[in-house]
Amino acid sequence: MTIQAATSSMDALTSLSKRRGFIFQSSEIYGGINGFWDYGPLGVELKRNVKEAWWADMVRCREDVVGLDCSIIMNPRVWEASGHVGGFSDPMLTCRQCRRHFRADHMDDLITQSDWVASLCEAGEADAEGHLMLTHAKLERWIRKKGSKLAKGMALVKDADTHLDGVAKCVGEAPRALRDVLVALGTPGLPADSDPLPCPFCGGDLTAPRQFNLMFKTHIGAMEDHASTAYLRPETAQGIFCNYRNVLDSYRIRPPFGIAQIGKSFRNEINPRNYTFRSREFEQMEMEFFCHPSEADTWYTYWRDLRYNWYVQLGLHSEKLHLRDHEKDELAHYARACADVEYDFPFGTSELEGIANRADYDLTKHQEFSGKDMHFFDDQTRERFVPFVIEPSGGVDRATLAFLTEAYCEDEAPNDKGEMQTRTVMKFHPRLAPTKVAIFPLVRKDGMPEAATQIYEACKKAGIVAFYDEKGAIGRRYRRQDEAGTPFCVTVDGDTVSDGTVTVRDRDSLQQERLSADDVPAFVARHLHSE
Ligand code: ATP
């Protein structure tokens, strides 16, 4: 996908999300706050449905997994044991011109999303391989037009007299790969050990990378000193490890078994971006599965495949969804194996969930730091062992964004006059759809509103999220529900009052069928799980 196409499909989604109340910027009336988001009336239902589907499939429908809800702030020793105090950091670069910070390992991505880079690609008329031909004259024109507006911090732009000849010599003699051009543009004034790419925002030169710890700090109690420092959890998993003994001792369960948790996590991300994908406050759905070391490989493969299929079953098309096994050199030092479930977002292919075989690393670390025994004693085999852990760790907000992206669709549907018109429709899996059924009286008279209200009440009583709407032309009402992703619309008309039947319209196929009004709740309930 080209940069422009990716931006426009993301723009279409973000604008629908705001217009229809899926996602809002946090504190928007004060100009927002970078990396924080709010879910509106439709978004909160969608996100809740994602969590409920996960909880139902991972906990309630299984006999070997139990749930937990741990505090967000824990004893700071937890984060020393887990390695987060010492090692949970990302390499950060700072622009010497605009003072913005960037994650060194995200530079390639950031630069392809940069406005000035897009304008440079236009100026250089990329060939089929994406190689740019930037002659002296083209560079000069770019500096005068787009460059001076979009890349104010770039040495070449600020002082073309000094740099233009040299840069043009480097990049202007033959078509060059984009990265080589960017390196040449970023070079003036850079120390040799820093990342040679220029600032994705202003084109300025960047500092060498420094390590930046991602945990948010706070203080407990009245004194703000070192002794009162605490952290907002950067993952929910550690609460599970800390309670592993409590669960074993209080609940009749033994390995192999899992403990699951859904909850907020916080990371002071250097570059929150791509909408809700990388936020500073987000929700995770994590499960730690404790098993005998000899069974860990088998359980790893089991969870890896099951978690991938979970997303497919809820509507993510498998050609856009990938299960990527990590290479040996990508693995954390303690991990035996790891795979990511990745999705093709408009901004690139990115991780939704990681599934890892963490061996006995976490329990052994907590045993060492807390002095508490983490062994399990099997009274049948008389064996004592520290269980191995298989961890599927997913992000609620990333899954929700993937379901939103996948659902977004523009197609054609007839309007009130029977003419075909473009419509925007969110094709959510019925299980995830925020509203399951909308009920419309055709007109506001002849007993139709009363009959429609009765169906609406019956749906609510059956626990089905329903929406009642009697305003405007019927076609307009359908369109609004298409944008909200409501799978079924029920219309009450003149016949309903005489023969008790209604029309049910299917969001995706646009097929209409006649049904007894009394059967609506059962019809909707049946379809929630069948597709
Ligand atoms: P990334 O490499 O993208 O930063 P990660 O590998 O550090 O992610 P994990 O620590 O494995 O992520 O966290 C597990 C899951 O939590 C991720 O797969 C993702 O779905 C979610 N997650 C992690 N960081 C964020 C974030 N900043 N915003 C939203 N979700 C996140």
Half-sphere exposure of 78 toward its Cβ, with a 13 Å CA cutoff?
23
Q: What digits encode the pLDDT tens for the residues 472-513? A: 999 999 999 999 999 999 999 999 989 999 999 999 999 999
pLDDT band at 241 (very low <50, low <70, confident <90, very high): very high
Query: Is the minimum distance from the CB of 340 to ligand 1 under 6 angstroms?
Result: no
User: What is d(CA 157, CA 160) in angstroms, rounded to the nearest whole number?
Assistant: 5
d(Cα 99, Cα 93) in Å, to the nearest integer?
10
Whether the Cβ atoms of residue 195 and residue 183 lie closer than 8 Å to each other: no
- DSSP code string of 424-469: EEE---TTT-S-SEEEEESSSSTTHHHHHHHHHHHHHHTT--EEE-
* pLDDT, tens digit (0-9, with 9 covering 90-100), for 292-336: 999 999 999 999 999 999 999 999 987 999 999 999 999 988 899
Q: Kindly state the average pLDDT of the residues 54-76.
A: 97
Q: Is 59's pLDDT higher than 70?
A: yes
**Position 276 pLDDT exceeds 80:** yes
Report CA(97)–ligand 1 centroid distance (Å).
30
- Candidates 78, 59, 81, 62; CA nearest to 70 is 78
Ligand 1 centroid, distance to 286 Cα (angstroms):
11
Distances (CA, A) of 526 to 52, 229, 462, 477, 523: 18, 52, 12, 24, 5
Ligand 1 probe mutation, 282, 331, 345, most atoms within 8 A of CB: 282
State both tokens at 332.
């954390």
Mean pLDDT of 155-175: 86
What per-residue confidence (pLDDT) applies to 4?
47
Ligand 1 atom nearest to CA at 350:
3
Question: Other CB atoms closer than 10 Å to residue 163's CB: what's the count?
Answer: 20
**Ligand 1 center from residue 164 Cα (angstroms):** 42
Separation of 91 CA from ligand 1 center, angstroms? 16
Using the 8-state DSSP alphabet, how is residue 293 labeled? G
pLDDT averaged over every residue in the chain: 92
Confidence of residue 132 (pLDDT cuts 50, 70, 90): confident
Q: What is the pLDDT of residue 252?
A: 86
The verdict on domain 10-75+220-404 having CATH code 3.40.50.150 is: no
Q: What does pTM read for this prediction?
A: 0.88
Render 88-140 in DSSP notation, one character per residue: -EEEEEEBTTT--EEEGGGHHHHHHT-HHHHHHHHHHT--TT--B---HHHHH
Residue 529 has pLDDT above 90, yes or no: no
Q: Measure the CA–CA gap between 235 and 79, rounded to whole angstroms.
A: 10
Q: What is the pLDDT of residue 531?
A: 53
pLDDT tens digits for 395-415?
Answer: 999 999 999 999 999 999 888
Does residue 284 have its Cβ closer than 6 Å to ligand 1?
yes
Extract the tokens encoding 304: 């890896």
The whole-number pLDDT of residue 274 equals 93
Tell me if 37 CB under 6 Å of ligand 1. Answer: no
- Residue 7: pLDDT band with limits 50, 70, 90: low
- Helix/strand/coil for 350: strand
Atom of ligand 1 lying closest to residue 269 CA: 27
DSSP 3-state assignment of 164?
helix
Whether 361 has a pLDDT exceeding 80, the answer reads yes
* pLDDT at residue 3 greater than cutoff 60: no
Q: In this structure, which residue's CA is closest to atom 29 in ligand 1? A: 278
pLDDT tens-digit series, residues 14-25: 999 999 999 999
Q: Which residue has the higher pLDDT, 276 or 179?
A: 276
Quick check: CB of 352 below 6 Å from ligand 1? yes
Annotated domain spans of the chain: 10-75+220-404, 89-211, 435-530
Residue 354 CB less than 6 A away from ligand 1: yes
Tokens of residue 143, six digits: 């500096």
Residue 307 φ then ψ, to 5°:
-70, -40
- Buried-exposed string 284-318: b where 16+ CB fall within 10 A, e elsewhere: bbbbbbbbbeeebeebbebbbeebbebbeebbbee
- C-alpha of residue 395 to centroid of ligand 1, in Å: 6
Question: Are 361 and 7 a contacting pair, CB within 8 Å?
Answer: no
Which numbered atom of ligand 1 lies nearest the CA of 351?
Answer: 18
Which residue reads 């700072």 in tokens?
Answer: 94
Write the DSSP string, 205-233. Answer: -BPPPEEEE-PPEEE-SS--SGGGEEEB-
Q: Which atom of ligand 1 is nearest to the CA of 352?
A: 20
* In CATH, 435-530 is 1.10.10.10: no
Instruction: Say if residue 190's pLDDT is above 50.
Output: no
| Nearest-5° Cα angle at 470, 466 to 475 | 95
Longest dimension (CA), the chain: 86
pLDDT value at position 478? 95
How many other CB atoms sit within 10 Å of the CB of residue 93?
Answer: 24
The dihedral formed by the CA atoms of 108, 113, 116 and 119, expressed in degrees to the nearest 10: 110
Helices (H), 215-329: 237-242, 244-250, 296-313
Ligand 1 close to Cβ of residue 233 (< 6 A): no
Asked if residue 408 lies in contact with residue 423, where contact means CB atoms within 8 angstroms, the answer is no
pLDDT of residue 358 exceeding 60, the answer is: yes
